[in-house]
Amino acid sequence: MVALIGLPRLVKATPLELFTYFGKKIMKLKPSLWAIVCSALLLSACGDTEDKDPSFLDGNQQSGIKDASTSGLNNGAGINGSAMGGSLPNGGGPANLGPEFSDPNNPLSKRIVYFMLDSSQVLQDFVPVVAAHAQYLIANPSQHVVLEGNSDERGSREYNIALGEKRAKSVAEMMKIQGVSESQISTVSYGEEKPAVSGNDESAWEQNRRVEITYQGQ
């Protein structure tokens, strides 16, 4: 962790340390301001930490698929959070959730975080979504979420279970950095076992690479 010793220590800190340090400093900001700052810091941090575990780097060799940089969402053009939607068909939780969860203009109405191929990095489009749910959980400590990690069908079953778990944990870590209690979050991975869309093409795969944020009853 970064110590409060002065500028030299901050200069030598890794991007993830800076994200954690400044994240704690700005936790009390309004959700909209936090989301903006969180986006900038997260993109820098994830660039150094993404998929350094060899067990996640060898997915292309296991499955024979292309690298995410060339065949990610929308034929490598990246993912658009608005275009992908992100609302759960069944509402994603009990009926006692507030009206903000059904307001399409409120980020709380989005409860799916999508990912690029073979990646567990939370993309910029979905940082405000995760931040909004984190702030809601902080304000409602009796609420609990299950973060359900999923993958598309390519790759071995073991690899996809591990990748789904890593995706769920990435979202969980973002929430905990913002101040959500660990007791409010559970993670589970279904790998390729629970596809949102059936199909064997990119239009289906890109909707199956996801984490669903599901609220549990009180």
| Bigger pLDDT: 50 vs 120 | 120
- What pLDDT sits at residue 89? 53
Q: Positive or negative, the Cα torsion across 122, 184, 83, 67? A: positive
For residue 53, is pLDDT > 70? no
Q: How far apart are CA 197 and CA 15, in angstroms?
A: 36
Split at pLDDT 50, 70, 90, the class of 27 is low
Asked if residues 147 and 187 have their Cβ atoms less than 8 Å apart, the reply is yes
- What pLDDT sits at residue 10? 52
Split at pLDDT 50, 70, 90, the class of 137 is very high
For residue 154, is pLDDT > 60? yes
- What pLDDT sits at residue 46? 44
- What pLDDT sits at residue 216? 87
Cα three-residue angle 205-53-84, rounded to 5 degrees: 25
How many CB atoms neighbour CB 161 within 10 A? Answer: 18
Distance of CA 218 to the CA centre of its chain: 24
**Three-class DSSP labels, the chain:** CCCCCCHHHHHHCCHHHHHHHHHHHCCCCCHHHHHHHHHHHHHHHHHHHCCCCHHHHCHHHHHCCCCHHHHCHHHHCCCCHHHHCCCCCCCCCCCCCCHHHHCCCCHHHCCEEECCCCCCCCCHHHHHHHHHHHHHHHHCCCCEEEEEEECCCCCCHHHHHHHHHHHHHHHHHHHHHHCCCHHHEEEEEEECCCCCCCCCCHHHHHHHCEEEEEEECC
The residue assigned the tokens 């769920």 is 168
By mean pLDDT, which of 3-17, 54-68, 111-125, 157-171 is the weakest? 54-68
| Bigger pLDDT: 5 vs 129 | 129
Asked if residues 180 and 134 have their Cβ atoms less than 8 Å apart, the reply is yes
Q: Which domains does the chain have, with CATH numbers?
A: 1-49 (no CATH), 53-216 (3.30.1330.60)
| Bigger pLDDT: 60 vs 17 | 17
| Bigger pLDDT: 61 vs 116 | 116
Split at pLDDT 50, 70, 90, the class of 119 is very high
For residue 88, is pLDDT > 90? no
- What pLDDT sits at residue 128? 97
- What pLDDT sits at residue 111? 96
Residue type, 78: G
Q: What's the rounded mean pLDDT across residues 48-73? A: 37
Retrieve residue 191's tokens. 């790998």
For residue 76, is pLDDT > 50? no
Q: Show Cβ contacts of residue 16 under 8 Å, excluding neighbours closer than 6 positions.
A: 45, 48, 49
- Closest to 64 measured CA to CA, from 123, 117, 120: 117
Phi, then psi, of 186 in degrees rounded to 5? -125, 150
Split at pLDDT 50, 70, 90, the class of 47 is very low
- What pLDDT sits at residue 153? 95
Q: What is the mean pLDDT of the chain?
A: 74
| Bigger pLDDT: 129 vs 98 | 129
